[in-house]
């Protein structure tokens, strides 16, 4: 640990970084560019990209990513938080609760209470903590009905961040992510370009230098007629929505046989 308080820590003081969360932080749908398939089932994602930007800034950063796809907030607290405390890093990113909030009948107040417990425990490490608001689903017709629930959770997250002095990455306000090209075909995970833009936004919040503009306008999209859009909706429902509902009903998760891709603080060096 650097020994700096939360508000005193700068990018030059961040020599170790631990990421906690679910598929969002694991980096799903962002395969490494030097492989046609995901190497050993592992993805890159915005957190790996942030660690790379940190390494560019300071020469070397020790980085752990404990996130596992499908994890609910209580699982993240029980499985990942103790390890993060043990590692005692300079920087912690925490994004949790999304899988809870999108479930039918979810209570954002109850989920936020667990999130507050996690932040309280992590804050005792002295690390700089970054938390994330939920996405605005207004652009997604099938998931638009969840918008109010997500907004309520976001207000809780902001209050918790204020209470413990956390940085906030306001993903809700990132209108660049309203474009379908920022998302994978399943409409829940960011595309490689979405992950790239989010990493740049995180670096902006941290004050870490990084080339690129997360809010750069997208090039004009190719026109689509309503028939093509309808076919895409049907394909999405058949290939993703139905299997997702089935897993929920049977108590299974996409992460049942998955472990953290970087369970320890491993060196990540600047590319020469």
- For 6-215+260-269, CATH gives 3.40.50.1110
* Number of Cβ within a 10 Å radius of residue 163: 12
Report pTM: 0.87
Segment 202-216 mean pLDDT: 97
Range in 75-79, 188-192, 212-216, 242-246 the model is least confident about: 242-246
User: 42 or 78: which carries more pLDDT confidence?
Assistant: 78
5: phi then psi, degrees, rounded to nearest 5:
-75, 165
Q: What is the pLDDT of residue 4?
A: 34
Residues 243-267 have pLDDT tens digits of 766 665 665 556 557 789 999 999 9
CA distance 47 to 25: 6
| Partners of residue 230 on adjacent β-strands | none
Sequence-distant (6+) residues with CB within 8 A of 241 are 142
Number of C-beta neighbours around residue 15 at 10 A: 17
According to the model, what pLDDT value does residue 5 have? Answer: 37
pLDDT above 70 coverage of the chain, percent: 81
Spatial neighbors of 72 by CB under 8 A, at least 6 apart, are 99, 100
When the pLDDT of each residue in the chain is averaged and rounded to a whole number, the result is 87
pLDDT digits (tens, 9 = 90+) for 98-125: 999 988 889 999 999 999 999 999 999 9
Q: What is the pLDDT of residue 123?
A: 98
pLDDT in tens, 70-101: 999 999 999 999 999 999 999 999 999 999 99
Domain-wise residue ranges, the chain: 6-215+260-269
Residue 23 has pLDDT above 70, yes or no: yes
Residue 33 pLDDT: 72
Which of left, alpha, beta for 52 (phi over 0: left; psi -120 to 50: alpha)?
Answer: alpha
Top pLDDT among 68 and 33 is at 68
Using pLDDT thresholds of 50, 70 and 90, give the confidence band for residue 141.
confident
Q: Which residue has the higher pLDDT, 10 or 14?
A: 14
> Average pLDDT of 208-220?
95
């Amino acid at each position: 640990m650097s020994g700096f308080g939360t508000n005193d820590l700068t990018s030059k003081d961040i020599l170790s970084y631990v990421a906690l969360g679910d598929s969002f932080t694991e980096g799903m749908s962002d395969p490494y560019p030097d492989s046609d398939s995901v190497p050993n089932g592992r993805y890159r994602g915005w957190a790996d990209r942030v660690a790379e930007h940190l390494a560019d800034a300071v020469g070397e950063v020790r980085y752990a990513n404990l996130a596992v796809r499908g994890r609910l907030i209580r699982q993240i607290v029980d499985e990942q938080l103790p390890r993060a405390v043990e590692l005692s890093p300079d920087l912690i990113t925490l994004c949790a609760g999304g899988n809870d909030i999108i479930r039918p009948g979810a209570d954002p107040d109850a989920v936020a209470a667990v999130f507050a417990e996690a932040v309280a425990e992590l804050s005792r490490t002295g690390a700089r903590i970054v938390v994330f608001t939920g996405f605005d689903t207004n652009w997604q017709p099938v998931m638009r009905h969840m918008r109010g629930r997500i907004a309520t959770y976001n207000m809780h997250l902001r209050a918790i961040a204020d209470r413990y002095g956390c940085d906030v990455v306001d993903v809700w306000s990132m209108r660049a992510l309203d474009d379908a090209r920022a998302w994978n075909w399943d409409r829940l995970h960011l595309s490689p370009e979405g992950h790239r833009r989010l990493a740049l936004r995180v670096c902006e919040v941290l004050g870490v230098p990084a080339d690129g503009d997360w809010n750069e306008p997208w090039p004009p999209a190719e026109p689509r007629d309503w028939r093509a859009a309808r076919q895409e909706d049907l394909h999405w429902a058949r290939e993703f929505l139905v299997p997702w509902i089935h897993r929920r009903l049977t108590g299974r998760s996409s992460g049942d046989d998955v472990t953290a891709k970087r369970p320890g603080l491993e060196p990540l060096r600047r590319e020469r």
